Structure 1
Amino acid sequence: MRRTSSARTVLAFAPLLALGLSLAACKKDAAPPEPTSSAEPVEEVSQPAPMTAEDWIRANHKDAVSSDLGQLQYAAAETDLDGDGTPEVLVYLGGPMFCGTGGCNLAVLKREGGDLIQVSETSVVQLPVGVLDSKSHGWRDLAVSVSGGGMTEGISRLRFTGSRYPGNASVEVSADAAPISKPLITEDALKPLD
């Protein structure tokens, strides 16, 4: 009988013993394992490079780039014309598609994000091209050389109208103007578009 009562006692405590063992098994002794470095690295999204003068010429003057009439040449310079701290791009376009007896074309481009947006394009421009300290509608005036095509040789002051520079450089020629003291684009700056 004695055996039966001790067996009963053990059986009575068996559920408590099982509960204690299962709770002990849930105890946290160690920190969870750290994630391994085998995960794929996250690629950073890179910003596209800002548009260059060459990119702008290719995008906006495809007919001149692929012309059989002769090789397109250009020269570019950057300077802040509107005082916003971001330089505008001046692109002098040379070659048979852009030049006549009076000169070639000068494009003024503004950066917007990574793109170049055309502000104006002026024809009948000779080199050198410079920038004056004077301003019109908040933009610096341009000084360009003019000659040929029957006009008097001189310097033309291109004034910003509030939306663009004049379409023709022969509009305000001064035969007695001083030479351009700080040229941005010089006579020897032209190079072929690669």
Structure 2
Amino acid sequence: MKAVTLVATALLIVGCRPGAGTGTPTEASSAADLQRPAPAATPAPGADPALTAFLQERTADAMAPLGYVAREVGEGEQALTLVYLVGPEFCGSGGCKLLILRKTGGTYAVLGDTSVTRAPVRVLSTRTNGLPDIGVRVGGGGLINGYEARLKFDGSRYPSNPTVAPAERIEGAEGVILITDEDARTSLKS
């Protein structure tokens, strides 16, 4: 019985890992589009006390381990910070949580709190209501063939779930990768 429990636990852990059960990125767009470096995207400052404080407050009750990958894209009022949260309370068989933030003064405002996303996370070449469209992988959670979904800014928020409207399935969209499964994560809780 112990062996069965150990195997079931191992399968659960592997199945919940970001990227588990997804198709290859080329299903969503060309390999060249997905592999192109993101010149406008740079790692979010690890020493940004406002981002650290914001994430610690937002995840105060979350279980460990908890980590994130953050990237900034754009400049000035159009700048966004994308945060891919990885931990037991933010990930499931369908993926993990993606926060789309805008720094306002000394804190962050949430423009998107999107569940069940998978890497790669891309900023697409298209824009809606003045902000870039975001591409995320959708897979797992019973979905056999993954795909890429476009998240459009509606004037106040990005969609909360990439598997239902207003998010839309896309193929071959141009864009640059911001976040991958291989990116080093900053730990919030160990």
Q: Which residue of 1 aligns with 2:154?
A: 161
Give the drift of 1:86. 5.1
CA distances 1:79-105 after superposition (whole Å, capped 9, x unpaired): 12xx74552111001111101110010
Q: Which has the higher contact order (CA 8 A, sep 6+)?
A: 2
Tell me the percent identity.
37
1:136 aligns with 2:128: yes
1:51 deviation in Å?
A: 4.0
1:112 to 104, 108, 126: 104
Question: Aligned equivalents of 2:133 and 2:173: distance in 1?
Answer: 15
1:149 aligns with 2:152: no
- AA paired with 1:185? I
1:193 deviates by 2.3
Residues paired across the two proteins, number: 139
Q: Which has the larger radius of gyration?
A: 1
More strand by share: 2
Contact 1:155 1:179 in 2 (8 A): no
Divergent runs of 4+, >6 A: none
The 2-side partners of 1:190 and 1:127 are apart by 13
Q: Find the aligned partners of 1:180 and 1:133 in 2 and give their Cα distance.
A: 6
Which structure 2 residue ranges, 5 or more long, are not aligned?
1-46
Two-structure CA RMSD over aligned residues (Å): 2.2
Matches within 5 A, 1:166-177: 166-171=159-164, 172-174=167-169, 177=171
Q: Structure 2 length normalisation: TM-score?
A: 0.66
Distance 1:117 1:159 in 2: 17
1: CA distance, partners of 2:152 / 2:175: 18
TM-score (norm 1): 0.64
Structure 1's 52 and 159: CA in aligned 2 closer, same or farther, altered over 3 A? same
Q: In structure 2, what is the equivalent of residue 193 of structure 1?
A: 188
| Aligned twin of 1:41 | none
Using the alignment, how far apart are the partners of 1:91 and 1:119 within structure 2? Answer: 12
